[in-house]
Structure 1
Amino acid sequence: MLYPVTLTVYAASAVLALLAGFYAWRDRLIDDRLLLVAAVLEVALLVQAVVVLVNVGEVTGDGAEKATFAAYGLTLPLIPPAVAFLAIKEKTRWSMGVIVAGAFAVAVMTGRLQQIWDLGG
């Protein structure tokens, strides 16, 4: 895997989670700033998905590890648009909690992708 892409995903996830947490604390709704951070995270996840698809054959281990690697890589780009859509539709403080949970899920799943990749290296 590409460490710069992984670090970018971690950083964007952290910024998104912290910003959404701040918005929840201040009882604010989603705005363009939060959507921009989610878009940056989405671009990084799309790059990561391409890297995963190109390198899925190089993952060592049983078929379960390859399946997990491919599934995580392909489903990660679906999370930011889903949580942003939910935050737009939900007009309460809890919408920011959904974004925080989504950003945390992206970071955890990216960490697992990196672990699977490092097993073969």
Structure 2
Amino acid sequence: MLYPLTVALLVTSVVLLAFAAGYAARRRLVDDRLLLVAGVVELGLLVQLVVALVHLGSVPGDSAEQATFAAYAITLPFVPPAAVFLALKEKSRWAMGVVAVGAFAVAVMTARLQQIWNLGG
């Protein structure tokens, strides 16, 4: 895995989490700024997916770790669009809670991907 990409994804997902938490505190709904940050996270996740699929054969560990790595890499790009879609449909304060939880999930799963990758090193 590309360590700089992992760091960039962690930072942008935490920024998205902070935006969503701030919006929830001020009872604001989705706007262009939040969509832009979510789009940057999504773009990074798609790049990470391509890198992960290219290097899938060289994932250290047993087959269970490889399966977990592949499942996380394939699932991650679906999280931000799903969270933003739900936030667009839900017109309450909890809409931003969904985005915040989605951003947190992206950060945790990205960190886990890097952890699995580092098992052999």
User: CA separation in 1, counterparts of 2:4 and 2:39?
Assistant: 17
Tell me, in whole angstroms, the C-alpha distance in 2 between the residues paired with 1:69 and 1:96: 28
Q: How does 1:14-25 map to 2 (within 5 A)?
A: 14-25=14-25
Q: Distance in 2 between matches of 1:60 and 1:36?
A: 35
- Tell me the distance in 1 between the aligned counterparts of 2:83 and 2:74: 16
Cα deviation code 1:29-75 (max 9, x no counterpart): 00110000000000000000011101111012111100000010011
Residue 77 of structure 1 and its aligned partner are, at CA, apart by: 0.4
1:109 match = 109
TM-score of the two chains, using structure 1 as the length reference: 0.98
Counterpart AA for 1:45: L
Q: Please give the alpha-carbon distance, in whole angstroms, between the structure 2 residues aligned to 1:61 and 1:9.
A: 24
Structure 1: runs of 5+ lacking an equivalent: none
Greater than 4 Å deviation, 4+ residue runs = none
Q: CA RMSD in A?
A: 0.5
Question: How many angstroms apart in 2 are the aligned matches of 1:114 and 1:3?
Answer: 8
2:52 maps to amino acid? V
Match of 1:94 in 2: 94
* Separation in 2, partners of 1:35, 1:15: 12
CA distance in 2, matches of 1:47, 1:4: 12
Amino acid at match of 2:64: A
Q: How is 1:1-121 mapped onto 2 (pairs within 5 angstroms)?
A: 1-121=1-121
Task: Kindly tell me the number of residue pairs found equivalent between the two proteins.
Answer: 121
Query: What amino acid does structure 2 have at the position aligned with 1:56?
Result: L
- Stretch moving more, 79-88 or 53-62: 53-62
Q: Gapped runs of 5+ residues in structure 2?
A: none
